[in-house]
Chains A and B, each alone.
Chain A
Amino acid sequence: MKLELRGISKAFGTFYANKGIDLVVDDAEIHCLLGENGAGKSTLMNVLYGLYQPTEGQILVDDQVVDFSGPGDAMAAGIGMVHQHFMLIPVFTVAENVALGAESTKAGGRLDLETTRRKIREISAKYGFDVDPDALVEDLPVGVQQRVEIIKALVRRARVLILDEPTAVLTPQETDELLDIMRQLKANGTSIVFISHKLREVKAVSDQITVIRRGEVVGTVSPQADTTELASMMVGRSVSLSLNKEPATPGEATFQVRDLSVIDEAGTRVLNEVSFDIHRGEILAVAGVQGNGQTELTEAILGTQPVSGGSVQLEGKELLGRSVKQVLAAGVGFVPEDRSVHGLVSQFSIEENLILDLYDRAPFAKGLSMNLAQVRKNAAEQIERFDVRTDNALNPASSLSGGNQQKVVMARELGRELKLFIASQPTRGVDVGSIEFLHRRIVAERDTGTPVMIVSTELDEVIELADRIAVLYKGSIIGIVPADTPRDVLGLMMAGVSADEAAAQHKNQGEGQ
């Protein structure tokens, strides 16, 4: 099926998420939409899928203009979508999820799930999915849930499949499997729109690549294009791939984690006897695919995640068993992975957010009362120091862009004397300019002699910032390696291959070439 977008624009208020986008996806083609986080890829696909109405422009299916008033229309036209955040109902079975919206019924309006089960088994067999139609979705691992989403689209006879950042939650190996599935789908005549910001995958599987930046098409190129060229198209200027930071001068190891384990509510061991040290003046980056225990690790240190064993010591003092307040007071600066959920109270003013974890300490508090003059003064200083772009510190934090919100969080956490600095996903959803700024601040904190722990799922960020890299896989540290470890080795480690084995494989490959 041929799909064409002509001059699509989508505005939210005065902000244009998409502007005059043209895109042609040919029959049985894998067409990649490449762009940074926030470039407008998902918005465009939501327009295509009928979830948003375009402000301007047309959609053409097989050269016929179509008008989607809702996803139902899009599906009827043969468009299927796998959303980045899966659209599955956790308490339903696989069959119920697949059937939903396209149910077959027997007499009396009675649901006929048997037909659905049969279709699921057929598709599973065809593509080698191992999916039980009667399993509850909430019990399935992420990779399998993604396959359920693909099955959902295929059962509806989708001839164009939109995959929105499908690899964000997958290990490199699972990613390779997904790429195989995509090739198989293509061989069967399905067109695929593949949304990603990861160059390796894009180059590996695409027939065409359309690059989007700030809501506009920058150009369409073939996958043979040079990686650095693609990267610069994506970010809009030649990327300096290195921060040029000074080599670390590590001091003593003042932060020690020993045998830290966490068992979650379902009884799964999500953190398994994790041990590592961080030295003064050193950045340890924790790498890994999302959902391998990173969240639990940082939250266990902070004290919001109950642990089942281990110890966490900062300058000889045990942190476990203390309240969050005590941990912060012990000199820990903490930047949570999702600023809008954990980092900011978005309805609070910028001023208030800048003292969110200092409100009851001098100089901001005096007994039970707050010193509002100090709060104001602090805000003026921090806004200046971190170049937060706002015209008024009394505006709510929600009025700021993602990058400026992150600056507020960082300013707050770096604004006091620290003995340990932890930042999770310090630049997720942040514009390129701010990324560099924030990275420099993190390195500056290291250079004052603070042990720094960075948790990131972006390998680029890890490599850029780290002095040493710890790789988390299924709750265990698979290895701690130097910053100059080759990317493939890190990739293998992220898939659960031990450091030595990964290095050996890398070496073999190198020799094979």
Chain B
Amino acid sequence: MSAEKTAPAPAKNDLFKQITQGPGLVSVLGVIVALIVGGLLIAVTDERVATTAGYLFARPSDFFSALWEAGTSSYVALFEGSIYNSAQGFAPFLETLTVSTPLICAGLGVGLAFRAGLFNIGAQGQIIIGAAMAGYVGFAWHLPVVLHLLLVIVFGLIGGALWGGLVGLLKARTGAHEVILTIMFNYVALYLLDFLMNTQAFRRPGETNPISPILDTTAVFPALPGSRLHVGFLLAVLLTFGMGWLLKRSTLGFELRAVGHNPLAAQTAGVNVQRAMIVAMALAGALAGAAGVAQVAGTEKVLTAGIAGSLGFDAITVALLGRSTPWGTFFAGLLFGAFRAGAVNMQISTGTPIDIVLVVQSLIVLFIAAPPLIKAMFGLNPKKKKIQAAAAATQGGAQ
């Protein structure tokens, strides 16, 4: 009777397990398959491929070479725009690091919340509020060097933490689902920023477009000469280390992980679950806020209504690919950052729209979330075969 009861709790909807436990091989294969699908998509929409397809049977070699060329030339351009090319050397890689910075920070934010059992779709809103507060401190206040940047960072983190913490508070107090709350808070933040950008306090004097004054030079991250790479990247590295320590070695991390797996057991063991949720969401928000800081005080140096782009949603895919571990997220952020950076070059040199990155990115996440699918594609599923064989044997025996 209690075979069910005492057996390991079924991995039913164990979000966490899904995110953290997957063989590395599947991840690599997932990335490859996604890239192939993306390449095919580029190829089939290529004009030359379409033309050669017209005389496919007359000269099939033309078609296939066009197909190959269309797919590969885009990826070559992607590589040259993100890692290395003969003209610029490794300069593109610096751009990749720049683009990765906010992705890593926000990805850590989503990942940290995951680890505490919370699905933080709200990085977008947290980035917006963080960037707005950091940006305001950066252009409206005029302070000495170092102190100014420090305050920009602190206010950015606080902004994100408030926006995230508010969700945590509502969830803890009312039991409302954080997915719904964060989605709604994203839009509230979006319109709030839109509103702010049209006020005297935020809009650049003499400007009718929603764009802020440029941040003071004391308020921005120092950049590496000749590139856009700024010190914000070091902040991302620091935060990755910080999250590693928090999860592995701190009592707070123990609490958050316990709540993430089993809030009832955590509560019975004396953890204040409500507080843990609020803290987790506030910390997640602060990390997303750091992404906002990196954007406004590093890459853009000015606050606009579109400051967050689609970073908040990309961050979710980053955290998923990184399986919510600090360094997994870090490298996933680098990978997607490389896609982003390279896509710009790809669009210029081969005309492939940047949107292909979204396609590849989402396919990667889908594939790695469903290891059986990838395994089936590569015939790596011996277990399933065994079960089928066993089932066949049983049926044979019954007849």
Contact = CB atoms under 8 A, between A and B. Distances in A.
B144 to A, nearest CB: 31
A97 interface: no
B9 interface: yes
A interface SS class: mixed
Nearest to B7: A12
Interface string A305-346: 000000000000000000111011100001010001111111
Contacts of B270: 323-325, 327-329, 357
A395 to B, nearest CB: 11
Given A67-B398, A345-B261, A368 B1 contact: no
A173 interface: no
Interface string B254-268: 110110011011111
Contacts of B2: 37-38, 42, 402, 429
A55 B16 CA distance: 32
B172 to A, nearest CB: 15
B8 interface: yes
A392 interface: no
A352 interface: yes
Interface residues of B, number: 35
Nearest to A54: B394
B interface SS class: helix
Contact of A346 (B251, B262, B390): B262
A15 B6 CA distance: 13
A402 B17 contact: no
Contact of A42 (B4, B249, B254, B397): B4
Nearest to A357: B269
A40 B265 contact: no
Contacts of B16: 347
B179 interface: no
Contacts, number: 127
Interface in A6-39: 12, 15, 17, 35, 37-39
Contacts of A328: 269-270
A92 B320 CA distance: 38
B398 A12 contact: no
A341 B4 CA distance: 14
B262 A165 contact: no
Contacts of A38: 1-3, 5-6
Q: Identify which of B6, B272, B394, B397 gathers the most chain A CB atoms within 10 Å of its CB.
A: B6
Contacts of B267: 304, 324, 342
Given A38-B6, A346-B9, A402-B6, A341 B1 contact: no
Given A328-B270, A348-B258, A39 B265 contact: no
Nearest to B270: A325
Contact of A370 (B1, B4, B9, B254): B254
Interface in A401-419: 401-402, 405
Nearest to A341: B264
A40 B3 contact: yes
Nearest to B6: A402
B268 A342 contact: yes
A18 to B, nearest CB: 9
B272 A325 contact: yes
B268 A56 contact: no
A347 B5 CA distance: 16
Given A342-B265, A348-B258, A368-B251, 9 more contacts: A43-B4, A324-B268, A341-B264, A342-B267, A344-B262, A346-B261, A365-B251, A369-B251, A370-B250
6 contacts: A38-B3, A40-B3, A42-B2, A56-B397, A327-B270, A348-B258
Interface of B: 1-9, 14, 16-17, 249-252, 254-255, 257-258, 261-262, 264-272, 390, 394, 397-398
Closest 8 CB pairs of A and B: A402-B6, A398-B8, A325-B270, A357-B269, A42-B1, A429-B2, A356-B269, A360-B251
Interface of A: 12, 15, 17, 35, 37-43, 53-56, 58, 67, 84, 164-165, 195, 302, 304, 323-325, 327-329, 334, 336, 340-348, 352, 356-357, 359-360, 365, 368-370, 372, 396, 398-399, 401-402, 405, 429
